[in-house]
């Protein structure tokens, strides 16, 4: 069964360093998303991406964050200068169409980012 | 803005018994979708069941059913004949129909443990 794949599963980085989280969405999907979950808190929407541009972003998704689909298969989240509060589990998701009655978001297993 | 609240941080149930997980939400939208996601210890979130707000009939998927009370803004999940594999974190989520860009709003989650 097709699935969303995220790498790495765990990344440790020093504060101020750039980090890139990678995701391979399901191949025929057109909509891509990043969510994050700080330990003990809610899963929060970061950004959605369609047709090679950001469709919507949350207030969390500031200038330190960027997303890219560098080729036909990968979808990346870059954090330019990591802060301690960026430590969280980051989930990538994809869907065939925009979310709604007949479309479901498929989530990856997540990348745990630890900023030290 | 929408909020989703799950007031039960943890629940436990004996195998084969029935358990109900609570979810309430607040929104000014009239048309929306509600979802329950399951996140097993392997961390990949899986869609369990969805409900369209314009449908009065409660959604059912095998052992999983919902009690959707639109006026009360309540959306509980009932798991019948609980199985050990149902042990997971369960998230309630909201998606307004006014956006198809995947901005799901999640609750805090309920950890469900099924005991043999």
When pLDDT is cut at 50, 70 and 90, the band that residue B113 belongs to is very high
Beta bridge partners of B24: B5, B74
Looking at the complex, does the CB of residue B9 fall below 8 Å from at least one CB of chain A? Answer: no
Structure confidence at residue A101 (pLDDT): 62
What average pLDDT does the structure give for chain B? 93
Which residues, including other chains, have CB under 8 Å from residue B73's CB and lie 6 or more apart? B24, B25, B26, B27
Give the tokens for residue A38.
């700080």
Average pLDDT over residues B41-63: 90
Measured in angstroms, the CA of B82 and the nearest CA of chain A are apart by 24
- The CA distance from A64 to B64, in Å, is 41
Q: Which segments of chain A have a pLDDT < 50? A: none
Q: Which of B4, B13, B2, B10 is nearest to B83 (CA)?
A: B13
Q: What is the rounded distance in angstroms from the CA atom of residue A103 to the CA atom of residue B5?
A: 24
Give CA–CA dist A35/A108, Å, rounded: 10
- Report yes or no: B31 at the A interface, CB cutoff 8 Å: no
Binned at pLDDT 50, 70 and 90, residue B71 comes out as very high
Compare CB distances from B106 to A42, A48, A104 and report the shortest one's residue: A42
Contacts of residue A3 in chain B, CB cutoff 8 Å? 44
Name every chain B residue with its beta carbon within 8 A of the beta carbon of A56. 99, 101-103
List all residues 6 or more positions away from A90 whose beta carbon is below 8 Å from its beta carbon: A6, A21, A34, A35, A36, A46, A77, A110, A111, A112, A113
Q: How far apart are CA B14 and CA A55, in angstroms?
A: 44
């Amino acid at each position: 069964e097709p699935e969303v794949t995220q790498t790495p599963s765990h990344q440790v980085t020093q504060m101020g360093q750039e980090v890139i989280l990678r995701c391979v969405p399901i191949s025929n999907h057109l909509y891509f998303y990043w969510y994050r979950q700080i330990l003990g808190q809610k899963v929060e929407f970061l950004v959605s991406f369609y047709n090679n541009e950001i469709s919507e972003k949350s207030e969390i998704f500031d200038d330190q964050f960027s997303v890219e689909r560098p080729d036909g298969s990968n979808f990346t989240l870059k954090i330019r200068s990591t802060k301690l509060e960026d430590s969280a589990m980051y989930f990538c998701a994809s869907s065939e169409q925009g979310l709604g009655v007949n479309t479901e978001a498929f989530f990856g297993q997540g990348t745990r980012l630890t900023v030290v | 803005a929408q909020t989703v609240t799950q007031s039960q941080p943890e629940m436990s149930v004996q195998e084969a018994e029935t358990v109900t997980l609570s979810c309430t939400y607040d929104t000014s939208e009239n048309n929306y979708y509600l979802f329950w996601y399951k996140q097993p210890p392997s961390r990949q979130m899986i869609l369990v069941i969805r409900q369209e707000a314009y449908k009065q009939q409660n959604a059912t998927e095998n052992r999983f059913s919902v009690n959707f009370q639109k006026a009360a803004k309540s959306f509980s999940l009932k798991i019948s004949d609980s199985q050990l594999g149902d042990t997971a974190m369960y998230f309630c989520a909201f998606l307004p129909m006014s956006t198809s860009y995947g901005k799901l709003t999640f609750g805090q989650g309920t950890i469900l443990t099924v005991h043999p």
